[in-house]
């Protein structure tokens, strides 16, 4: 019961944090639009010292309302799935995805400002995918199937199919997600599988006879007989 209450508390905190993060994204972009001020310079600019700060700030900046809207829906869905299934692994995983995505773009990206939270969304998707493969429990697999059903196209999002899209952010976000799955998924205990009485009886039937002493066998005493006593 204690573990269940702890998970529920972590989930509530996770959902609130997700909501606050989404609100912050919209406030930032609305401020840009209202004052006609572009914050693209807060993105990651590869291999430039001034672009290092973008590793932290780039997921907060979006190019237009459509860009923000698409990432918002993805964040809500994939974030909620991650919180539900992996509340104990959420924060370290998000941190690794965030940093690996930004650092990978800084080292290997094309010369342009890379902005947007899609590296984070791809990281969450690949985290759920990899965690399900590693754990292979019903809950993880069900969550992964929902993610694939809704965002299976993210598998191809790591490829350079559109020069206007930062596939580098997607790729390194995905790498961060897989890395996080290997590092942190075990923090979330696997759901307890209830074993029914009939399953226990079947297990006993399968045991070798020498594990189950015959009812007519006389127990062996731990006392020495008179003839063997020294």
* Higher pLDDT among residues 227 and 91, named by residue: 91
Give one DSSP letter per residue of 86-100, joined into a string. Answer: -TTTHHHHHHHHHHH
Number of domains within the chain: 1
Q: Is residue 99 part of a domain?
A: yes
Contact call for residues 21 and 72 (beta carbons, < 8 A): no
Q: What is the CATH number of the domain that holds 42?
A: 1.20.1540.10
CA dist 62 and 65 (Å) reads 8
Q: Is residue 199 part of a domain?
A: no
Q: Is residue 201 part of a domain?
A: no
Q: Is residue 208 part of a domain?
A: no
Q: Is residue 150 part of a domain?
A: yes
Q: Is residue 192 part of a domain?
A: no
Predicted pLDDT of residue 31: 96
The residue-averaged pLDDT of 74-96 equals 96
pLDDT per position as a tens digit, 100-157: 999 999 999 999 999 999 999 999 999 999 999 999 999 999 999 999 999 999 999 9
pLDDT per position as a tens digit, 211-228: 455 554 444 344 333 433
Residue 41 is part of which domain span? 2-187
pTM value > 0.85:
no
């Amino acid at each position: 019961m204690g573990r269940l209450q702890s998970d529920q508390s972590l989930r509530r905190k996770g959902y609130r944090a997700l909501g606050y993060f989404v609100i912050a994204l919209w406030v930032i972009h609305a401020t840009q639009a209202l004052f006609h001020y572009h914050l693209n310079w807060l993105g990651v600019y590869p291999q430039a010292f001034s672009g290092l700060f973008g590793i932290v700030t780039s997921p907060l900046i979006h190019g237009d309302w459509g860009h923000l809207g698409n990432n918002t829906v993805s964040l809500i869905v994939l974030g909620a799935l991650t919180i539900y299934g992996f509340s104990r692994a959420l924060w370290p995983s998000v941190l690794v995805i965030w940093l690996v995505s930004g650092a990978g773009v800084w080292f290997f990206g094309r010369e342009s400002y890379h902005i947007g939270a899609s590296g984070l969304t791809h990281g969450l998707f690949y985290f759920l995918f990899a965690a399900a493969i590693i754990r292979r429990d019903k809950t993880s697999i069900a969550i992964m199937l929902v993610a694939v059903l809704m965002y299976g196209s993210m598998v191809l999002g790591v490829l350079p199919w559109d020069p206007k899209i930062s596939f580098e952010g997607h790729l390194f976000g995905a790498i961060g997600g897989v890395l996080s799955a290997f590092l942190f998924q075990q923090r979330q205990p696997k759901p307890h599988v209830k074993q029914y009485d009939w399953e226990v009886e079947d297990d006993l039937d399968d045991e070798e006879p020498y594990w189950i002493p015959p009812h007519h066998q006389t127990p062996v005493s731990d006392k020495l007989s008179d003839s063997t006593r020294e």
